[in-house]
Amino acid sequence: MFKQERLGVNGVPFKIYKFRSMQTHAPSIAAREIDNDEYVTVIGRILRRTSLDELPQLINILKGEMSFVGPRPFILNEGEINNQRKKHGIDKLRPGLTGWAQVVARDTCDHDEKLKLDLYYLNNVSFFLDMKIVLYTFFSLNGK
């Protein structure tokens, strides 16, 4: 397990917990921006494919730093997307274990598309949307 600083509610940094899926010398940037084959471990591939690397974030939920559903927290050095989130008020939401952007596009979209999906969530937050996201998350994990 390891901890990494991420931005939480109102841009306040917190330590997110994850199972280590990358080698210790991997750069601290978004995983989609580096060659995963070079840094992801064999067990890490399984953890990522099944999203089990996210399981320790239940600790963050219990601590009140995250919720089950909300926009995923970004790494501190992802400046432009963090600035855009603040500009649009997305940073006011508690980050989530899963979110609209994750069930719609997983890790396949760029920052602009992720921002649009997070804005959709911000503008449509409801119990029913959260339940839809939880169901989509469950079925997307089972479909792998």
98 vs 27: which has the higher pLDDT: 98
Distance CA 109, CA 131 (A): 23
Average pLDDT in the 94-117 region? 89
Q: What is the pLDDT of residue 17?
A: 95
In the three-class reduction of DSSP (H, G, I as helix; E, B as strand; rest coil), residue 40 is classed as strand
The full set of domain ranges for the chain reads 2-142
Helix ranges (H only) for 89-126 are 100-105, 111-124
Distance CA 142, CA 10 (A): 33
Averaged pLDDT of the chain: 86
Q: Kindly report the pTM of this predicted structure.
A: 0.82
